[in-house]
Amino acid sequence: MAQTQRTHRITLIPGDGIGPEVTDATVRILEAASTPLGCSFDWHRYDAGADAFAKTGEYIPKALYESIEQNRVALKGPVTTPIGGGFSSINVTLRKKFDLYANFRPVKSLPGLKSNYKNIDLVIFRENTEDLYTGLEVMINPDIAQSFKIITRKGSLRIAQAAFDFAAKHGRKKIHAIHKANIMKLTDGLFLACCKQVANGFAGVAYAEHIIDNTCMQLVLNPWQYDVILTENLYGDILSDLCSAFVGGLGLVPGANLGAECAIFEAVHGSAPDIAGQDKANPTAVLQSAVLMLHHLGEAEAAGKVQAAIEAVYAAGTSLTRDVGGTVGTGAFRDAVIAAL
């Protein structure tokens, strides 16, 4: 029987700095893995960030917004947002625009890497659209600035639901809700009340609560006690970076921003302009984000192939980039993963 051909329309945002190099490597690996399985991609490429501004005068061109609206799935490399200048983070802007309320960040050890933290396997669900990241700030007077923390029942319920749905589907045993409700009794108190409400519907998933400052200490002392972390926007931003250190840093950890209509898969490390164009960048974070994208598209077999190939290259240790103790460049790492397919 002839194999069914499937083509997925994907908005591709290469980004700037090392972005074009790591996204190009990822695209080539995805195509090598997927083509034999009857899966192909129709890539719609758009600039964003500093490069887009230089060409169009817009950090996020209107055509990019329209492409994401039509395709509903995007793969994004690192982009540069100027500090100051009146334009908010491009990542935050896209999350708000498409109501990508769930930031999903799996943190899992890759084989072969030296670390004091072995066999890490935890997941962070971070609310992605509210909290202090709404950017609502005022100057009360020249000496006092005020920022508004916004927590809603709707936002808290849907991120909790996403976390518990994931845990139930993937056999995760426990969820910790992270908060500071001992101080922020109304905002974080509302978040916890919503988490408890959702938890009551999942008898098979244990539920616990930890205060954010204690969580940071507990993670450093014993990260293995955590399975799924469920938290608000700011705490999740901090904890995501902290947890990435257990497995080698932001250059290795994937990310997904999920909404009811659209999803954007991205690496969250910087654009590293100091090594751009030098064949030094590690594409692992973008590549593992693309694995999450494949699962989202229903291409589980291709996702498994790519992830297995990544892990085989890391286990062998002979074709790793310099940031993880290797000696090869972006292209050689890409070729090693393709060969491992």
Domain covering 153-247, topology: Rossmann fold (3.40.50)
Task: Specify the DSSP class assigned to residue 224.
Answer: G
Q: What is the pLDDT of residues 97-138, one digit of tens each?
A: 999 999 999 999 999 998 999 999 999 999 999 999 888 999
Q: What is the pLDDT of residues 35-45, one digit of tens each?
A: 999 999 999 99
Does 99 qualify as catalytic in the annotation? no
Cα 69 from Cα 66, distance rounded (Å): 5
Does 237 qualify as catalytic in the annotation? yes
Domain 6-115+249-340 belongs in CATH node 3.40.718.10: yes
What pLDDT, on the 0 to 100 scale, is given for residue 87?
Answer: 59
Is a pLDDT exceeding 80 seen at residue 318? Answer: yes
Q: How far is CA 289 from CA 22, 60, 116, 187, 215, in A?
A: 12, 21, 24, 31, 26
What pLDDT, on the 0 to 100 scale, is given for residue 24?
Answer: 98
Q: Catalytic one among 133, 207, 235, 314? A: 133
Average pLDDT over residues 76-104: 82
| Amino acid in the structure at residue 127 | E
In the chain, list all ranges with CATH 3.40.718.10: 6-115+249-340
Report the predicted TM-score, pTM, of the whole model to 2 decimal places.
0.93
Q: What is the pLDDT of residues 163-203, one digit of tens each?
A: 999 999 999 999 999 999 999 999 999 999 999 999 999 99
Average pLDDT over residues 194-223: 98
Q: Catalytic one among 16, 51, 131, 180? A: 180
Is a pLDDT exceeding 80 seen at residue 274? Answer: yes
Q: Catalytic one among 188, 237, 305, 314? A: 237
Average pLDDT over residues 299-328: 97
Q: What is the CA radius of gyration of the chain?
A: 20
What pLDDT, on the 0 to 100 scale, is given for residue 85?
Answer: 54
Least confident span in 75-84, 97-106, 313-322: 75-84
Average pLDDT over residues 284-288: 98
Does 180 qualify as catalytic in the annotation? yes
Q: How far is CA 108 from CA 111, 209, 292, in A?
A: 10, 22, 13
Q: Catalytic one among 42, 173, 213, 274? A: 213
What pLDDT, on the 0 to 100 scale, is given for residue 1?
Answer: 41
Give the helix/strand (H/E) hosting 37. Answer: none
Does 213 qualify as catalytic in the annotation? yes
